[in-house]
Amino acid sequence: MFLLPKYDSFWLFLLIASLIPISAFSISKILAPVSQGPEKLTSYESGIEPMGDAWIQFQIRYYMFALVFVIFDVETVFLYPWAMCFKELGISAFIEALIFVLILIIGSIYAWRKGALEWS
């Protein structure tokens, strides 16, 4: 009835997965050379002294284009498991996948009409 002993390997894996990055950062903090100075605080652009302010305001369309790409790219990954077991799932899974693809198409048409896919 009590299932906690079945998670022993999970807790061990979680502990090891937590200790590895913590120990890596700790060792890096201890062994890394520390040099503070005015040169360390300046920005570096291919050996050329920076001209003007380092803060440049980007237009929102670059972020929107990237977000739309990431969303549709990640959404299409969900089609791979469905395609791998297409024969076993039957017609109802085909209809569900068709609805899923139609939602993606409607979303891309909406983004296209709103101008999120316009680069210039």
In this structure, what CATH number is given to the domain that contains residue 100?
Answer: 1.20.58.1610
Q: Residue 93's domain spans which residues?
A: 59-120
In a domain, 106, yes or no: yes
Q: What angle do CA 93, 95, 101 make, to 5 degrees?
A: 100
In a domain, 64, yes or no: yes
Instruction: Please say if the pLDDT value at position 120 is more than 80.
Output: no
**Residue 21, amino acid:** P
In a domain, 113, yes or no: yes
pLDDT at 117: 74
In a domain, 11, yes or no: no
Distances (CA, A) of 114 to 64, 78, 109, 120: 11, 25, 9, 14
How many domains are there within the chain? Answer: 1
Instruction: Please say if the pLDDT value at position 13 is more than 90.
Output: yes
Q: What is the pTM of this model?
A: 0.46
